Structure 1
Amino acid sequence: ITKARLHMDYELSDGEKCIVELEREDKRLAQSVKRISDATGFPMVKLDSAEYFSVGEEMFADMCKELEKAEKYIFAEYFILQNGKFLNTVVDIMAKKAAQGVDVRIMYDDLGSIATYSLADALKLGEKGIKCVPFNPFLFIKSQLNNRDHRKIMVVDGRVAYSGGINLSDEYINIGSKYGHWKDIGFKITGEGVKNYTYMFMEFWNAFSNDMIPHDLVGESFEKEGKGGDGYVLPYYDSPMVDENVSNTFFSEMLYAASNYVWFYTPYLMLGDSLFDAFIRAAKRGVDVRIIMPGIADKKVVFRLSRSYYRQLIEAGVKIYEYTPGFVHAKGCICDDKLAVLGSVNLDYRSLFLHFECSSIFYDSSIIKTFKADILETQSKCRQRTLEDTKRGFFGRLIDGVLRIFAPLL
């Protein structure tokens, strides 16, 4: 991937001006954002518009409309592909666009889709004019096997980008879900931030495919300057190949810097020592810290391990809610009405330390208000967990302790 980036002929936007503007309003936050930008190589830019989707069905409908407008290229990258209404509808549109001369490319994680999508399925896409490659193919045991592509990205013509927690599978639009109502979230952005997502895709594609993306395919769309008007956005991705675990660090800094509240969505809760300590310290000093978790587990062992963290967090003052209608796959957080982070990152060891992930930091944007309203609406359908709920006997505590040893593998 590093070699692919070095050989790509592109130039991202200059984010220094936005950092300077942010510094005038919140110097402490500007320092954290600049650190993210320096560590990842992606700039903060002005945001033209952002649209929030509180369920996968909303994003699916909007995505289909934008795909129908494609004129130059469609880039898609997902952890899970699975044949069904969602994927098949998207593929039908992509095939039609490919026949019209649109460059269509799909990348999927080979291990993430091992039970849902096969090489034969990928070859069928090729027959429809859609280029498709697996990320980090599961061919034999190697040291990078755990480093999976958990990112979710869809880019159309450099004009719009989609991301969030939603994969191209029917359970994400509440068809055939085995775990009650599937609560997931996503978003769409326009403006210069789309360039960041396009380059994320280009890096990975060029690293794993011999059919390189020509710069002149995307260059023209990148020459357009964003107008701004809806705050700022910094789309970036985490990489286990670099020294700093960017999202883990930024979540900790949000908790340390918060004055009023920090609220999280996450399907899994397996925290490293530094982030766990940040949750505890923020709650103890009076910050309103909340975590919304699933009410129905998709993986029982992982769910039990997640719950093993409840007692210490609740004792410190963290409020934990479980979504009674079903499974929460949403990932995101919001802080003090001014900052939100939305993307693919779970609060677990794999997301924070092992996987390739992507997120967007939003500042002073309308999407923050919409996101907050959705969290409150979801919380109204949750049950708050109490210390009484966390009681365990000796053997229960022993089992939880053993599970924590294996947390990096779960």
Structure 2
Amino acid sequence: MKKLWRIVYSRTFLVVLSILVAVGVIIAAVSFTANAIPAVWLALELFSIVVAVSIVNRPMNAAFKLTWIVFVLAIPVFGALFYYILQSNLEVILYRRRFEYQAKALHDYICEHDVYGHKAQDVLAQKDKEQLKLAHYMEDYVGYPLHVNTDGQYFPSGEAMFKTLVEELKKAQRYIFMEYFIVDFGYMWDTILEILKEKAAQGVEVRFMYDGMNSLTLLPYSYYKTLRQYGIQAKVFSQIIPALSTVQNNRDHRKITVIDGQVAFTGGVNLADEYINQIKRFGYWKDAAIMIKGEAVANFTLMFLQMWNFDTKEENDDFLYLQEHMANQKDTIQTDSVFLAYGENPFDGEEVARRVYLDMIQSARESIDIMTPYLVLDDETIDNLTYAAKRGVQVRLLLPGIYDKQSAYLASRTDFDLYLKAGIAIYEYTPGFVHAKVMLVDGKRATVGSVNMDFRSLYLNFECGLYIYGHKQILADIAEDFEECLAQSKQVTLEEFQTTYPLYKRIIGCCMKILSPLM
């Protein structure tokens, strides 16, 4: 009974209840009006047809079109009405305008202050001209330049990353920028918070940003005010409010730390104890992260400042951090390995993270190794992945043996038949949950970041990642991590899957996949 009351009085329950009440009021108001004035119902039916036609002709992924059309047609009149409300409310328009402005400012700044020239492109031109396609796209259309003169370290677990992160935070002298999707009380966050408080007291500028989803279940709603009392500049991205808006479906899923413009971290690791296996959830938590030093840190600084200023209307001098970085970092590290730190913005229409994955898959010649917690892909990505296997590329997928979400498990397995018949090897990590987001291609290039291989990461969330080409140590460490994980995993065979996987799970999984573009 106590558990029930805790649920009833929780913020999550109140938000959901408020939204359901709003939906009920709209349905009741429309039904009453339509019954009183029959012509209104006819007009709404015609409106549904117009909405369905407009969805078909919108420039969006086919999976999203199918899901919305099913939604509109399955709920006559009201489906179209809610689609219109969700897609055209003022909040959506404002967010889109803000991020369009930020994206333009980012691109213009890089074009005007590119002190690095085209060194990275020159390196790629000598080593692998095919990779220049991704370079041109990133620099010309998105605004993220490639860099050389960068070094890094790959971490095969959250524990390894946490140890180094603590060491680097303690070295901070000028500023610390941190942006994370999940923050939860416990050993990990308490340790980091103490360092941030100490650094702020020493005069180091500390900016900390977390996603508003935390306010539902993990943190107090006004926790950012508590952080401000410690001298930390704190912001929350998109607090969850009881309102009908698709904006609340666009979460800041990034994991970024930038220290003095010298060091940057990214990967799958959030700031909560399960990520470092301080507590056990879903068995052993297998994650991955990466640290870089040198020129490529600038892109992470740029990404953080873009998000930090998403709700700022007035001009500021934040880009001075990049000027300083460019002046101080130039040629301090001498390497010809190529690094590309990139961000995914659901409002710019570019689908950057998805294009990075597709470019790597399409250019694969020998092998593709993928770690991901979720595998729910659109038709184009599935076609490219299966075609890679059919043309002789060794494709191996490492998925969780224990899932954190049953819906993700069911949706991920929907296409197992297709993958296995194409010759893709699927492994499920026996010790527990795989949260790492890593792709390694031909042993020559890889990407590590926050991007899952599902609709939410590839289309709906703000994400980040790091593309690495030619860094022998990092690539060798990633390859070793894959082999160690595969040795602890069970391979899924086509015969076993077809004979043992229950029909009811297949049906539920198909339903989950239809809804996945909206979840």
TM-score grouping bracket, smaller chain normalisation: over 0.9
Aligned-pair CA distance for 1:217: 5.2
TM-score normalised to structure 1 length: 0.95
Higher relative contact order (CA closer than 8 Å, sequence separation 6+): 1
Alignment equivalent of 1:228, drawn from 334, 340, 344 = 334
2:368 maps to 1:262: yes
2:509 maps to 1:400: yes
Structure (1 or 2) with the greater helix fraction: 2
Q: Can you give the 5+ residue segments of structure 2 that lack an aligned partner in the other structure?
A: 1-98
Letter in structure 1 aligned against 2:212: D
Aligned-pair RMSD on alpha carbons?
1.9
Q: Can you give the 5+ residue segments of structure 1 that lack an aligned partner in the other structure?
A: none
- Rounded to whole Å, the distance in 2 between the matches of 1:247 and 1:217 is 25
- CA spacing shift, 1:221–1:16, aligned 2, 3 Å: closer
Aligned-pair CA distance for 1:148: 1.1
Letter in structure 1 aligned against 2:449: G
2:32 maps to 1:32: no
Aligned-pair CA distance for 1:111: 1.8
Q: Are the aligned partners of 1:110 and 1:137 in contact in 2 as well (CA < 8 Å)?
A: yes
Aligned-pair CA distance for 1:96: 0.5
- CA spacing shift, 1:353–1:15, aligned 2, 3 Å: farther
Letter in structure 1 aligned against 2:283: G
Aligned-pair CA distance for 1:27: 1.5
Alignment equivalent of 1:2, drawn from 90, 97, 100 = 100
Structure (1 or 2) with the greater strand fraction: 1
Q: How does 1:63-212 map to 2 (within 5 A)?
A: 63-111=165-213, 114-139=216-241, 140-208=243-311
TM-score normalised to structure 2 length: 0.75
Q: Are the aligned partners of 1:13 and 1:45 in contact in 2 as well (CA < 8 Å)?
A: no
2:410 maps to 1:304: yes
Q: Which moved more, 1:90-99 or 1:105-114?
A: 105-114
- CA spacing shift, 1:74–1:210, aligned 2, 3 Å: farther
1:161 counterpart SS class:
strand
- Rounded to whole Å, the distance in 1 between the matches of 2:326 and 2:456 is 33
Letter in structure 2 aligned against 1:2: E
Letter in structure 2 aligned against 1:374: D
2:343 maps to 1:240: no
User: Which of the two has higher C-alpha Rg?
Assistant: 2
- Rounded to whole Å, the distance in 2 between the matches of 1:243 and 1:13 is 28
- Rounded to whole Å, the distance in 2 between the matches of 1:383 and 1:67 is 38
CA distances 1:308-354 after superposition (whole Å, capped 9, x unpaired): 12111011000011110010000010111110011111000000111
2:218 counterpart SS class:
coil
Match of 1:384 in 2: 491
- Rounded to whole Å, the distance in 2 between the matches of 1:39 and 1:292 is 32
- Rounded to whole Å, the distance in 2 between the matches of 1:388 and 1:67 is 50
Match of 2:58 in 1: none
1:235 counterpart SS class:
strand
1:3 counterpart SS class:
helix
Q: State how many pairs are aligned.
A: 410
Q: How does 1:360-379 map to 2 (within 5 A)?
A: 360-365=466-471, 366-379=473-486
1:223 counterpart SS class:
helix
Q: Which moved more, 1:112-121 or 1:247-256?
A: 112-121
Aligned-pair CA distance for 1:228: 2.9
Aligned-pair CA distance for 1:21: 2.3
- Rounded to whole Å, the distance in 1 between the matches of 2:264 and 2:350 is 26
- Rounded to whole Å, the distance in 1 between the matches of 2:417 and 2:159 is 35
Q: Are the aligned partners of 2:153 and 2:292 in contact in 1 as well (CA < 8 Å)?
A: yes
Q: How does 1:290-329 map to 2 (within 5 A)?
A: 290-329=396-435
- Rounded to whole Å, the distance in 1 between the matches of 2:311 and 2:496 is 47
- Rounded to whole Å, the distance in 1 between the matches of 2:139 and 2:321 is 26
- CA spacing shift, 1:82–1:293, aligned 2, 3 Å: same
